[in-house]
Amino acid sequence: MVGAKRRHMGLGGFPDVSLAQARDRARRARDDVANGIDPIAERRANQSRLRIKQATDKTFQQAAEAYIHAHGDTWRNSKHRAQWVSSLERYVYPFMGELPVQDVSLEHVLSALEPIWKIKTETASRVRGRIEKVLDWATARNYRTGENPARWKGHLDHLLARPSKVRSVEHRRAIQVDEMRPFMAALAMKVGDAARALEFTILTAARSGEVRGANWQEIDFTSRVWTIPGERMKSGKEHRVPISEWAFRILMKQHERKEGPLIFPAPRGGQMSDMTLNAVMRRMNVNAVPHGFRSTFRDWAGEKTNFPRELAEQALAHTLENKVEAAYRRGDGLTKRRQMMEEWAHFIDPSCLANGEPESGAHRAGART
């Protein structure tokens, strides 16, 4: 009898349960009843808890893979997903991959971060952020409880040195402003889509990935504007690029032998790899990388012209850090940027070497703003 109710409870079948075991189980069940516990209800509750635990028991690696599956489609490109996967496989899974995500603690996070914090600080900082996101996701899915041991503010910032204090910032190698004309003269001698893509990248101050993925539908030949959709931009926002006369001539040459949607296709079709433009520069024996030309352009705009800083930042599609300033910016300065890009093209034009023109038109004209 359990309270006022008669219950029937099996003790297990013979021979798996011996007579002595059955007697012991019966005695423990009677003790539970005497203490006001329904042994059948208690057994069912234990089984339910076990099923719930089994359903929510995930290792950190399983949680990370589920997070990537849930959010990967919102990331800019497959390269970003690959970086997530490779960084976790290399720096995190060896320390906590097989550990239940519920049990991940500060010691496990530090064991993954401390070996690389001072020698690969930028990578370590990204890894920390990725661990934090995975653990936050696991908490939201009820796979773990408690504080996030990978959070930075008010936690790891007391245990690890601030990244900006320990890392030596290595800027992308760039060609000096005054060396651009000789470089462009040498680049003009190179043949092939990769060389023209690099030339177009320099003239538009765009990122190489934006140029490599550029297609003809993005070009307005009438207004001479290249509109890059948000999904191909680092900022996630649409960006309009005014096309200078020089850059337009490159497009027209490419259009004459158009074979597909891409403006600068790979030799065997499809999009060029991210190393293609680097290879052009290596063959030219230049100690710089394509991304460095954005720095060169920024230096030119700041040192050689009177164009406003904000206009150069818009040309580079940089997000304004000043939120108030960003809120008041309504347009994208396309007309003014067109003048700036024409002046940039003039400044790096190698034909000006023969004409003895040392300065850009923007400098000579005072760059009307």
d(Cα 352, Cα 246) in Å, to the nearest integer? 14
CATH classification code of 60-166: 1.10.150.130
Report pLDDT for 107: 94
Domain with CATH 1.10.443.10 in the chain: 177-365
pTM of the model: 0.60
297 is written with which tokens?
A: 């352009």
Low-confidence spans in the chain with pLDDT less than 70: 48-56, 76, 167-172, 320-331, 352-369
**What per-residue string of b and e applies to 78-116 under the rule 16 or more CB within 10 Å gives b?**
eeebeebeebbeebbbebbeeebbbebeeebbbebbeeb
Report pLDDT for 351: 83
Report pLDDT for 50: 57
1 is written with which tokens?
A: 């009898």
Report pLDDT for 368: 32
d(Cα 343, Cα 54) in Å, to the nearest integer? 66
Instruction: Name the CATH code of domain 177-365 (choices 2.40.110.10, 3.20.20.70, 1.10.443.10, 3.40.1160.10).
Output: 1.10.443.10
d(Cα 208, Cα 212) in Å, to the nearest integer? 6
d(Cα 194, Cα 272) in Å, to the nearest integer? 8
Report pLDDT for 236: 81
Share of the chain above pLDDT 70, in %: 87
Domain with CATH 1.10.150.130 in the chain: 60-166
Closest CA to 247 of 292, 193, 204: 204
